[in-house]
Amino acid sequence: MKAMVHQGPGSFVWQEHPTPQIRKPTDAIVKIEATTICGTDLHILKGDVPTVEPGRVLGHEGVGAVTEVGAAVTEIAVGDRVIVSCISACGKCSYCADGMFSHCLADEGASGLGWLLGHLIDGTQAEYVRVPFAETSLHRVPQGVAAEDAVMISDILPTGHEIGIRYGAVKPGDVVAVIGAGPVGLAAMMTASLYGPSRVIAVDIDANRVEQAERFGVSDGVISSDPEWKEQILALTDGLGVDVAIEAVGVPSTWDMCLEIVRPGGHVANVGVHGKPVSFPLESAWIQNLTITTGLVNTNTSRMLIKLLAQGRLDAGAFISHRFSLDDIESAYTTFSSAAETKALKVILAARR
């Protein structure tokens, strides 16, 4: 088969790669129908994620048809159309028992992380993928839901919802600011509406992204390169600051911004993938009664999100900016990695029929 293979920092090639086989009784093999590229994949290509070894097939999002299952798999059958979750969860270890699949202990790389695909084992940017713990790591695609829409359930919708909105404890009437209007930030904005906030403020350095955010249930937009950005946000609250600030970029300046705009008693939910240390001014924050959360997605709300998708309550198609054929994935990476010029959000890679 063909797959997107990481060759080491800065290099990736769509090339021949061994077709995956069932290795454990709990595995399934999925023929990829649609996949996409995540910001995390760009971090891997830059060399920010050294646990990804050269030779690894990238990708942790995708939808496809099951072509083979291991002997222990009874709930998923050959022919099922499934969403591949970015987290592979055994369903049995102590973390899985608590619903914290992100730290599943049964992984194949002994890292104590549920993020295996496109990280510690070969991923979804390929014609076929082997999915471990198939019964607890695959979800059936409901009737009537397009494959490309369902791909948004693999990672971005649960990540924005769980680590942004749920960890941020958004409640009715809250003013929520999301710093960073990339796909995951937009997923947080879209799922915020499930909890009845009074305002959802999109903050981004890129005016185009702030404008795009209007399609994701946002009430107000603020361009962070404006010297008055902070005053603009405070003016949208009662002057005290936002109830929930969600960091969805992963650089020190946007973390600092969250701490500047959150009100006493508020929540700062970090979603961004950070590659550098940030400062935390505990000398001023200690008296602010803040709640600060971090996390890797558990995908324990994916089933709920799938129901909303099936009922047309979540417009997953809004995330899709570009479509390519799977074997044109190298062009898709070029488009996705220059999002400021191409206005790329999620790029869909569809297998040729």
Give, for 154, the enclosing helix (H) or strand (E): none
Instruction: Output the CA torsion sign for 254, 271, 183, 324.
Output: positive
Instruction: Output the CA torsion sign for 194, 198, 202, 207.
Output: positive
Q: Does 222 bind Zn ion (CB under 5 A)?
A: no
* Cα–Cα distance, 280 to 295 (Å, whole number): 17
Beta carbon of residue 60, minimum distance to Zn ion (angstroms, whole number)? 6
Beta carbon of residue 90, minimum distance to Zn ion (angstroms, whole number)? 3
Give, for 263, the enclosing helix (H) or strand (E): strand 262-270
Site string for Zn ion, 40-59 (x = CB under 5 A): x-------------------
Beta carbon of residue 336, minimum distance to Zn ion (angstroms, whole number)? 12
Site string for Zn ion, 142-161 (x = CB under 5 A): -------------x------
DSSP at 288: S
* Phi, psi for 9 (deg, rounded to 5): -50, 130
Site string for Zn ion, 181-220 (x = CB under 5 A): ----------------------------------------
Give, for 292, the enclosing helix (H) or strand (E): strand 291-293
Q: Does 83 bind Zn ion (CB under 5 A)?
A: no
Q: Which residues from 262-281 bind Zn ion, rule CB under 5 A?
A: none
- For residues 154 and 254, which CB has a smaller minimum distance to Zn ion in the complex? 154
Beta-carbon contacts of 333 under 8 Å, excluding residues fewer than 6 positions away, are: 12, 37, 41, 45
- For residues 38 and 339, which CB has a smaller minimum distance to Zn ion in the complex? 38
Please check whether residue 285 is in contact with residue 263, taking contact to mean a CB–CB distance below 8 angstroms.
Answer: no
* Cα–Cα distance, 249 to 294 (Å, whole number): 13
Instruction: Output the CA torsion sign for 249, 171, 101, 217.
Output: negative
Q: Does 104 bind Zn ion (CB under 5 A)?
A: yes
Q: Which residues from 22-41 bind Zn ion, rule CB under 5 A?
A: 38, 40
Beta carbon of residue 228, minimum distance to Zn ion (angstroms, whole number)? 33
Of 3, 63, 106, 344, the residue at the interface with Zn ion (CB under 5 A) is 106
User: What residue ranges bind Zn ion (CB under 5 A)?
Assistant: 38, 40, 90, 93, 96, 104, 106, 155
